[in-house]
Every structure is written in C-alpha cells, then in structure tokens.
C-alpha cells in the first residue's frame, strides 16, 4: 500500500525536485529518488532501522516499503532491536518519547501511517510549493509524520539540514521561494534571539513541547510570522492544531482537533483520541491505554468551544497537603515574567509531616532575579499554596533530541530524587 502510493507520486512528479540534502550538497528529483529505492543493496532484512538526518534515512524507508521490511527508526546511538511476534499487518514501529515512563514501541499498520499523513497534510495545508525544511529528528514521530510521510505520500519536497544552527537554517531556507518550517520551541527561541527566522516562511509549526506564549507573541511581533502550535502523540499522531492567524491568548489552548480525529474526555479527566491514525498497540506488551482504535492519553484536558485545553499530566501532578497542583500551570505563569526564558516545575517529598510534596522550580533567567522576586510575581497570579518553595537557577534546561524535558531526570539531576 505505502510503496504503491509512493510510486504513483513518483510517476506524477518525475522531473520535480523531491529531496535536498544540504550536508552533502545533493538533490534528487522524484524519479531519481524512485530509482535509488529500486536499487536495493543486499539481502532483505526483516527490520529496517533508519537513522540520522540525511537522504539515507528516506531511501532506507522506501527500500523497506518495497521489500516488506518493518521500519523501526532509531535515534543516533540507539541499538537495533530484535523484532519478533508482531501483530499481523504491522509495518512500522515508533519509539515513545518516554515522558511518562520507560520508552516503548508503538506498532502501526500501513493504513494508520497513511491516515496520520493525510490528517496532517489536510489540517495544516502542507503544499508542494512550500518545501518542508527538515531540522528535527526524522526518527521521532513528529519528524516522521510531518516531514517523511508528506514527501513520500503527498509529494511535499523535503530540504534536510543536519544542523539547526541559525546560519545553516538561514542558508537552507534561501534555496526556495517559500518554505514550511516545523521545529520545537527551543529551536524557535534560538532562531528568534539570533534574529535569523527566515522571512520566506509561509507555515511555521511548533510541537514536541509546550510553546510559551511570550515566545509566540515575540516572534509574531518582530517578524509577522505566526507559529502554529501542534499537539500530538506517538501513539496516535496528530491530535490538535492551532490554525489561527494570530498568537493565542491562553497557553493551555493547543488548538482544535485535527481533521478525522475524534476527541473525548475519559471519566478520569484524561483525553481520549479516536480515529484511523491511532496505532494498533504497544509492543512487545500491549496495554489498555492503546487498543481498538482508541488512545487514552495521560493529559488532563478540557474540550470547550471546539478547542482543546490541556490542564497538566495525570502523573505529574504535585500533592501539596492533599491538594493537587499542576506544574504546567505554574510554568505558564512563570513564563510571563519578562526575565524568565525557561522553567521546569516538579514536586519532591516534603520534610514537613503531612505536607506531601514541596514544589521546586528550576529557572533559566535572562537577567538578574531571585526566587523571592519570582515568588512575589506568582502570588499575584496563582494561589499561594501553588507557589514554589524552592528555587534553583540554571544556565539552561537541556532537552533531549525531541525537544522534551523529563521531570524525573531533573529531580535526579538536581539531587532531589525521591528516595
């Protein structure tokens, strides 16, 4: 199914530019990319593990589709896995981002992959005359569904840049009249502060982590470019998208449901996602959260006026003397402070009997400030019992290749892990 769809795209657009790899200075038309996929080197393997941010990744996927191998993209440095006992019809394994525990794999059929690409292309309005500029991991669900699948199933050209450094992005963007740029908030911030957000962006997308309102507003004010917030999950692909033309006014709002995606709230308050793009199951062990075309997330959410509002993650809530606190709400309030560039909030066991947990805030500031100053700032915006009691200042909050922060990792990093 997937390879046949690709071959039709390749026939229809034979002479058009399909793929540029700026690190190697190479480019392929659709016909040339098709020939590269046909020229298989070596025997067929049961599993294909494409890696990196290069044309080799794309060609490896096409060859796997042609030979019937299961595609399991890996980040650089990840060891290959032995794939046995997959459910019938599985063609792809995605690795979860491990924001709520140990990473595991999600199994997809060809129809489920194609449905996600269709939903994304239609909802976002991806176009062949606006090439995707690829700077994010192709192995991650975000990069695979937003960059690789639109190229192979919808003919949206892909320009690969192996470095997100501002100058590299600026030069690559200049290769087309208009581009689409999908990135994570950390990259948008770097490009904004360096003053190199390409002026020829026709569609700017941010996913992988919450997009801070001050950053969204600053980019819009200085460039006129609206960054569209995109919310999705490895288990089900795209969930919601902010298609509006102006910056959001509520950071909890992540947009409206993607086309062909149906949303509901489970009795426990978590968001449920249904649709043709929802993965088949976890592998190697199934779980009730992902089954029968439904994925129950761990995101606490509200649906109002056709929009999706995230209220935190069920596992991240902090217990303060019996009351539940959302760290995301505190982070959103903190990011409104003009000197706070980034922050992460979590709970650690309290030494005080009966208090439950103490709220800790790790902050990256662009100027001189103190925990007391930030405390007073928050007291005017959130209840006093939600204000962090411990403050730590850092030069940066390092994220992984997917642009995500792990609260558990940061608890251990700052020496406050639970016993």
Contacts of 207 (CB under 8 A, 6+ apart): 142, 146, 182, 184, 229, 230, 231, 232
What phi and psi, each to the nearest 5 degrees, are found at residue 309? Answer: -120, 125
Q: What is the pLDDT of residue 410?
A: 82
Which residue, 195, 62, 207, is CA-closest to 124? Answer: 207
pLDDT, tens only, 310-323:
988 887 888 887 78
User: What pTM value is reported for the model?
Assistant: 0.84
- Is-contact 205 230, C-beta < 8 A? yes
> Which residue numbers in the chain have pLDDT < 50?
99-101, 417-419
Containing 169, the helix (H) or strand (E) segment is helix 166-173
Tokens 């997917």 belong to residue: 402
Contact criterion met (CB below 8 Å) for 235 and 278: yes
Q: How far apart are CA 21 and CA 53, in angstroms?
A: 9
CA distance 165 to 194: 10
Residue (of 72, 71, 109, 104) closest to 88 by Cα position: 109
- Write down the number of H helices and E strands in the chain: 12, 24
Helix or strand run (H / E) with residue 344: strand 340-349
CB-based contacts of 44, cutoff 8 Å, min separation 6 = 67, 68, 69
Q: Using CA atoms, how far apart are residues 343 and 317, in angstroms rounded to an integer?
A: 16
For the chain, the straight-line distance linking the first and the last C-alpha, in angstroms and rounded, comes to: 51
Instruction: Identify the bridge partners of residue 295 per DSSP, sorted by sequence position.
Output: 273, 290
Give CA 390 to chain center in angstroms: 30
pLDDT (0 to 100) of residue 241 = 98
CA distance 124 to 359: 38
C-alpha 134/C-alpha 373 separation (Å) is 40
Give the pLDDT confidence score for residue 46 in this predicted structure. 86
Task: In whole angstroms, give the CA distance from residue 159 to residue 20.
Answer: 5
- Token representation of residue 238: 């795209």
Do you find a cis peptide bond into 284, omega within 30 degrees of 0?
A: yes
What's residue 418's pLDDT?
45
* Helix extents (H) in 78-164: 110-124, 141-143, 149-154
Strands (E), 158-216: 158-160, 179-183, 201-206
What local confidence, expressed as pLDDT, does residue 397 receive? Answer: 86
């Amino acid at each position: 199914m997937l390879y046949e769809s690709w071959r039709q795209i390749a026939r229809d657009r034979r002479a058009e530019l399909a793929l540029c790899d700026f690190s190697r200075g190479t480019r392929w038309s659709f016909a040339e990319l098709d020939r590269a996929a046909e020229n298989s080197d070596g025997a067929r393997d049961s599993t294909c593990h494409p890696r990196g941010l290069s044309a080799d990744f794309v060609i490896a996927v096409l060859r796997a589709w042609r030979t019937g191998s299961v595609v399991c993209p890996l980040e650089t440095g990840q060891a290959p896995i032995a794939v046995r006992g997959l459910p019938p019809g599985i063609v792809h394994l995605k690795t979860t981002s491990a924001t709520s525990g140990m990473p595991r794999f999600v199994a997809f059929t060809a129809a489920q992959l194609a449905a996600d690409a269709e939903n994304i292309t239609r909802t976002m309005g991806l176009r062949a005359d606006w090439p995707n500029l690829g700077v994010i991991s192709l192995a991650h669900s975000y990069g695979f569904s937003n960059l690789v699948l639109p190229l192979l199933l919808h003919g949206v050209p892909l320009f690969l840049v192996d470095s997100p450094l501002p100058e590299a992005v600026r030069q690559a963007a200049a290769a087309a009249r208009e581009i689409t740029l999908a990135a994570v908030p950390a990259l948008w911030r770097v490009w904004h502060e360096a003053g190199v957000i390409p002026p020829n962006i026709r569609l700017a997308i941010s996913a992988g982590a919450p997009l801070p309102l001050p950053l969204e507003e600053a980019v819009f004010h200085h460039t006129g470019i609206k960054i569209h917030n995109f919310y999705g999950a490895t288990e089900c692909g795209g969930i919601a998208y902010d298609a509006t033309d102006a910056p959001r006014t509520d950071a909890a709002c992540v947009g409206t449901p993607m086309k062909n995606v149906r949303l509901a709230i489970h009795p426990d308050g978590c968001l449920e996602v249904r649709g043709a793009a929802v993965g088949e199951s976890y592998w190697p062990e199934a779980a009730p959260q992902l089954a029968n075309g439904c994925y129950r997330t761990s995101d606490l959410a509200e649906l109002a006026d056709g929009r999706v509002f995230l209220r935190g993650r069920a596992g991240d809530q902090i217990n303060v003397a019996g009351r539940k606190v959302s760290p995301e709400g505190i982070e959103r309030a903190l990011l409104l402070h003009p000197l706070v560039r980034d922050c992460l909030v979590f709970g650690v066991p309290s030494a005080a009997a009966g208090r439950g947990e103490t709220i800790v805030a790790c902050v990256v500031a662009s100027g001189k400030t103190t925990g007391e100053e930030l405390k007073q700032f928050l007291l005017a915006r959130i209840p006093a019992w939600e204000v962090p009691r411990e403050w730590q200042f850092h030069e940066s909050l390092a994220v992984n290749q997917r642009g995500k922060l792990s609260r558990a990792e940061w608890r251990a990093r700052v020496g406050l892990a639970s016993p």
